[in-house]
Each structure stands twice: as C-alpha cells, then as structure tokens.
Amino acid sequence: MAAANLASNPPSLPRTLNRAIPKPFFLKPISTLKPRWVTRAVLSTSEPKTQKFQHCFSKSEDGFLYCEGVKVEDVMRSAEKRPFYLYSKSQITRNVEAYKDALEGLDSIIGYAIKANNNLKILEHLRKLGCGAVLVSGNELKLALHAGFDPARCIFNGNGKILEDLVVAAQEGVFVNIDSEFDLENIVEAARISGKKVNVLLRINPDVDPQVHPYVATGNKNSKFGIRNEKLQWFLDAIKAHPKELKLVGAHCHLGSTITKVDIFRDAAVLMVAFIDQIRAQGFEIDFLNIGGGLGIDYYHSGAILPSPRDLIDTVRELVVSRNLNLIIEPGRSLIANTCCLVNRVTGVKTNGTKNFIVIDGSMSELIRPSLYDAYQHIELASPTPSDSKVSTFDVVGPVCESADFLGKNRELPTPPKGCGLVVHDAGAYCMSMASTYNLKMRPPEYWVEEDGRLSKIRHAEMFDDHLRFFEGL
C-alpha cells in the first residue's frame, strides 16, 4: 500500500475511548498492520498494587527529613534563608543507570529532555553518564553544546524552530525533527547556508491518546506537534527532492507526559514501525525510531507500582529488534523529578474561618505546576513538630498576590511552628525550569548532596541587583 494511502480508507477499529483494542491486534504479523486508526489505550481495571516507597528523601524515626543521609534541617541552616532546591546527585545517577540497564542489548540513545531542568551542572553530570540531549530551542542547543554533549547524540525538536537556530544545528550535526511544511523549508535553507547535509527524522503524529492532562498530551490529532499521517507522502516526496540538503534517517513520535501505562508506548510503536516499513519500501534507509519520553512518576507517594524504564523498553523491544532499529528515547521527568525537593520556611499559619492556611516563603513563582496544571506534589514538614501540635487540613500557599498561588490543597499536616521547614517533593522536573520572577520573587538557588555526603551549590540565587542590571545604560 502506498504511503499516500495510509489514511485513505475507513478505520477498521472503532474510534472510541471506552473499548479495548482486541488482543489479536498485537498477534498479527507487523507487515499486515495498517496505521490508519486512532489507538485509544484503556484504563486497567485491576486493583492498584502498592509497595514501600523508596526515595532519596526519607523520614527518620525521630521525624526529621533526610536527603541521602543529610538532615534537611542542617542544610537549611547552611543555605541562604530563602526557598531553595535540594537535589540528590546519587539519585540522578541511579535513574540514568535504570534506563541504561533497561536498554542493554539495544543500540540506543538516552536523550535527556533539557526542558525538564536546564541546570548546567546537572547537564554536565548527565553527559558524563552517557546521555544525549533533546532540545526544543536554540538556547537549549547552545547550552547542550556548552555542557559538552556529543552533537551526534542530540535531537532538535519543536514546532516553531527558527532559521538561525537550525543553521547552528546543521553546522554542529545534530538530528533535526521535521514538524511541518514550513519547518522542512527552513531546514533545507539551513542546510544550504551551513553547507552541511542534515540528518532528519519525521515527527509523525500517531494520534494515540496518552490519558493525561490535555496540556501535556502531544500525540493526539488536536496537537500542534508533528505531521498529519495523511501528509506523509508529501513529506517523503519533498525530502526526495532535496538529496543534497536532507538525509531521512528516522521517524519520531511523542505522546505526552506523566504517562503511567506502558501499553500506550506499545500502541504507538506498532503504528510507527508500520510507518517505517512504508518509508523503507520507498528506498529510504531508516535507522532510528524515536518514541519520545513521558514516563510518569509517583507524585502522590502512595506506594503505587508504576512502570519502570525496563517496563517501557520491554514493551517495544521486540518491535525495535524486528526492524533492526536504533532506539531513541527522550526521558526528562523520569530522570530528574524525584531527585529534588523545594525547601521552604513557614511564615505563619492562619484561618479565614472556613479554611486553614500554611503560608510559606515559596510560591507559584518558584514552583508553578500546581497552579498551572492543578498538579499534586507531595508535601511534608522537614522536622518534627511539638507533641501538642494539632493535625489539621491546610492549603499550603505562598505570598504571591494571586489566589492561584498554592503549592498544595487540603493537606493533612501537623500545625507547624513559624520558621519550620516544609518541602514540596519531586520538584526536579518542570519546576525550576518554569520558575519566574513574578512579584519580583527572584529565582532561588540550587544545591545537591554529593555522593560523599557533601553539600554543594549548583546554581546561584538571583538577586534584586540582577533585575536592575537589565536597565543599566538605557
């Protein structure tokens, strides 16, 4: 079947959220699969399993919170008296090793998604551990090069890449994803300006529902990302027309973020290898399948058994091997989120008669996920409270002049004394990288606990003078 006709016939499966894909679907030979339908993953009906939650942050029997054996309260005494991020360097290493172990036996690239956390020291550590980098802006590309990442292990994504940045990507030899007709035109122009042929992947929108918050779903038909399936042949013809500028080396998809069901990755991989079969049939040498990232974590600290990197890789392994493909994955959250917490100090406790509030010095300016996505992140006190402290239900809020300024709602906590430490867990991803200076709350410092237990600063705090510097000489 010609690639131009991939979406020309009516779907052979119902387009519904409520019906499972029949089991024989996965038992058919891959060559018979036609990527024409919308795959909808189905929620599991089994009872959730639980396990003792393992974390680099742990509570001792006496009620103190520790990071890799270092008491958080001691860190608060030595750190600047303001909100700060605290990481475990060892946990970052463990998370990377889990992916490397899962990928054993496969030719692969672990492309860390820099948008999740762009701290230079963390990037240098990930590079030393063997990671590549996934980039979604020109500045992320420059930062990856500054951090020493191998350009041949970097992938430049994005639906609005500009020519100047694409020229740098072409000159450095990074992979570039084609996301649209105008994106292809800009990549061709960048190749001509740089005098370099660009290795490109087609970002195909498989229209797979990842069952996540709509703001972090990127692979369905309403997404701004990727090319439409029915336009595939147009892009293949356009690439054929530019043999001096473009070399098509792979196909890419990205479903979304906070995904907790690995069958969704399998659904997408089945469709993607079928697309690759069609592309190869037209003479293209396709070596890479990029299945994106998006593996979720246990933000609730409920002990739920969520998919591991090995679960993810195992669900697509046979498909990758059957096509002799190099696998690219793009983890961000699952590499860095659980390595960090935002450490705050309690300013005071108040009530409005119907609700109780713990007011802290941190805010939506330092950590916006709860305000932006209504996301849940686990909150606890860093030290024990007096024995007579009453346990109540609180909203944990900051000082920013917005009703949306909250870090958590309806949390049962002992009433904390003024100055007590309060931490928001799993803050390594999409927290500091999304921080702002709203209300002129300057971005916080970052620290990590080294492998030997030493505390090191890995980012300076922004100061008021930094703000004034933008206006010097005007």
Residue found under tokens 């270092």:
70
> How far apart are alpha carbons 188 and 204 in whole angstroms?
19
DSSP H helix total and E strand total for the chain: 13, 22
Nearest to 291 by CA among 322, 324, 325: 325
> How far apart are alpha carbons 264 and 221 in whole angstroms?
15
Residue found under tokens 């669900």:
315
From 56, 253, 341, 401, the catalytic residue: 401
Catalytic status, residue 401:
yes
Q: How far is CA 388 from CA 236, 414, 417, 418, 421, in A?
A: 70, 9, 11, 15, 18
Give CA torsion, residues 73, 396, 296, 261, to 10 deg: 140
- Residue 265, H or E segment: helix 263-280
> How far apart are alpha carbons 293 and 296 in whole angstroms?
9
> How far apart are alpha carbons 380 and 362 in whole angstroms?
14
Nearest to 194 by CA among 158, 157, 169, 160: 169
Catalytic residues: 401
